[in-house]
Structure 1
Amino acid sequence: MIGICIPAHNEEHHIAACLRAAMRAARHPGLSAEPVRIVVVLDHCRDRTAQLSAAWPVHCLTIQARNVGVARALGARHLLDAGARWLAFTDADPRVSEGWLVDQLSLGAEVVCGTVTVTGWEEHGAHAQRARLRFAQHYQDREGHRHVHGANLGIAAQAYRRTGGFMGLSCSEDQALVDKLEQGGARIAWTCLPRVTTSARPYSRVEGGFSCALRQGWGTGD
C-alpha cells in the first residue's frame, strides 16, 4: 500500500482541489491498482476544512498541535500502521500531478525530493513582478537541485522508520528529516520529475516556511 499524508490548518479554500488532485494520482493506471490510502491531518482547524475533507474517501485525523512536524509525524505513523510501503507527503494547498506517485516510485530511490511550480503571483500585489523574477533567478527546477519541500516529498517506509521520522518542529521539519536521511546514507533522488503546483501566497499558515521565503528571501519585503 502507498500512503499520502496531507497536514491541514484552515485550508477550506484549497483542500477540495488538493484532494481531487491526490485522488487522480492515487488512481493512476501506472500503479497497477495498488491501494493508496490518503490521510488528512486536521491541525487546529477552525474553518470548514474538516467538513470538506469528510466529503472525500480519505482518512481524517484531528489534533490541536498547531505544529506541522507533529501533524506529518502523526499522519506517517497512521499510514505505517496501516501497512504503507511508501509515504508521499504534500500540503493542503498544492495540487499534485496525475503522475506524481508513479514518478516518485519510478526513480528507485529511498527518498524523492521534488520541486514545485509556483502560481498566483498576483497575491504579492505591487511586489508581484519582483517576487516572480527573484524566484526564477534563485530556484532550480531541474535534476540535481537541492531544494526540500514538504509539498513534494516521498520516502520509503523502511528509510523513514530508520531515521525516526519527522520531529515536532513548527517549520523546516521536512529539511531536518531529509538531512537525517542524507546523513544516514539514504539513496536520495533530487529530481524535477514528480510535479506539484503550489500557491505563491506571501502569507501561509506557518511562519518561516516557503511563503516566508517568497516574501522575504527573494526580496518582496513585508
Structure 2
Amino acid sequence: MSPIAVAVVVPVHDEAALLDACLAALTAAVAHARRTHPGIRVAPVVVLDACTDASERIARSWPVSIRRIDARRVGTARRKGVEAALAELGSPAPDDTWIATTDGDSTVPVTWLTHQLDLRAAGADVVLGTVRPDFADLTPAHTAHWIATHPRGAPAGNVHGANLGMSAAVHLAAGGFPDLDEHEDVEVVRAARASGARVVATDDNEVTTSGRFEGRTPGGYAAFVHATHQRISGQVSP
C-alpha cells in the first residue's frame, strides 16, 4: 500500500549551529518525494522545544511548519510534532499515512523519504534506518573503526529517531511516541513489534548526524559516539 500523505517531524532543542543544513537536506528530500510520487501530500513540522538560540529564526527561512513547546523532552516533541503534522494533512486515514522522523542535528539524503515510501509499498510497517556520525567530527582512527565495524548491507536493526519511519496505523496501535526524556524511539518500535508490525531494517539512505560528544540527552547518540571514541583512543594510545 502506497501512502498518500506523509508527516515529517523534526524535534529541535537549541540546534542553531546545525539546523540550517538539516532543513536544507530535508527540503530537498521532500521535493524529491513530491516529484517521484505525484499527488502525495507532505507536511514537514519542526518542533522547537524550549529553544533559546536562533533555531526559530533559521526554521522560519525554510518551507516547514513550526510548533513551539516547552517540554524539554524529546518524546513529547516527537509526539506533538506528529499531532501537528497529521492535523495539517487533514487527519488522513491512518492506513494511507506515513510518519517519518529525523533530528535537528542530522542531514538526510535526497532519496530518504522516497526509499521509506517504497518500502512501505512493499509491505513494511516500520522502517529502521541507520545513522552515522559526521566523520568531520571524528579522529581518523575513530572514522576507520566506524567503517570497519559497520559493513554495508548488514544493518544491525538499531532504532534511531534520526532515521525512522512507520505507518500512522502502526503508530496509533503502538500508542505513539511516549513522553520520555530519551529512548522514546526505542519504546514506540518495541510497542509496534508487540502489535505485530512488520519491521524492516535498512542501511540504504543512511542519515548523517552530529559526531559531537555531548548531546541533548544523557544517553542519546552522542553518548554512544563519546564512549566509542574513548575506547578507540585507548586502543591507539602508545
Counterparts of 1:19-34 in structure 2, within 5 Å, are 19-28=23-32, 29-34=35-40
In the alignment, is the contact (CA less than 8 A) between 1:203 and 1:211 conserved in 2? yes
2 CA distance for matches of 1:201 and 1:170? 19
Counterpart residue type for residue 104 of structure 1: Q
Distance 1:13 1:94, change over 3 A: same
1:131 and 1:214 in contact (8 A); partners too: no
Q: Is the 8 A contact 1:69 1:169 kept in 2?
A: yes
Residue 118 of structure 1 and its aligned partner are, at CA, apart by: 2.4
Equivalences, count = 217
Deviation at 1:137, TM superposition (A): 4.8
Aligned pair in 2 of structure 1 residues 50, 12: CA closer, same or farther (>3 Å)? Answer: same
Match of 2:43 in 1: 37
Residue equivalent to 1:161: 172
Structure 1, unmatched stretches of 5+, are none
1:102-113 alignment runs, 5 A limit: 102-107=114-119, 108=122, 109-113=124-128
Partner residue of 1:68?
A: 74
Distance in 2 separating the partners of 1:106 and 1:49: 32
The one-character-per-residue Cα deviations of 1:127-164 (angstroms, maximum 9, x if unpaired) are x3453344345446534522111000001011101111
1:191 aligns with 2:199: no
* Structure 1 position 56 matched with structure 2 position 68: no
Give the fraction of aligned pairs with identical amino acids, expressed as a percent.
34
User: In the alignment, what sits opposite 1:86?
Assistant: 98
1:121 Cα deviation from its structure 2 partner: 4.7
Tell me which amino acid in the other structure corresponds to 2:177. F
Report the RMSD for the aligned CA atoms in angstroms.
1.9
- Residues 130 and 155 in structure 2, CA contact (< 8 A), matched pair in contact too: no
Amino acid at match of 1:97: P
Q: Distance in 2 between matches of 1:177 and 1:131?
A: 31
TM-score if structure 1 supplies the norm length? 0.90
| Corresponding residue for residue 158 of structure 2 | 147
- Residue equivalent to 2:236: none
Structure 2 counterpart SS, 1:40: strand
1:39 offset after TM fit, Å? 0.3
How far does residue 217 in structure 1 lie from its aligned partner after superposition? Answer: 4.9
Q: Give 1 or 2 for the bigger CA radius of gyration.
A: 2
Aligned to 2:131: 116
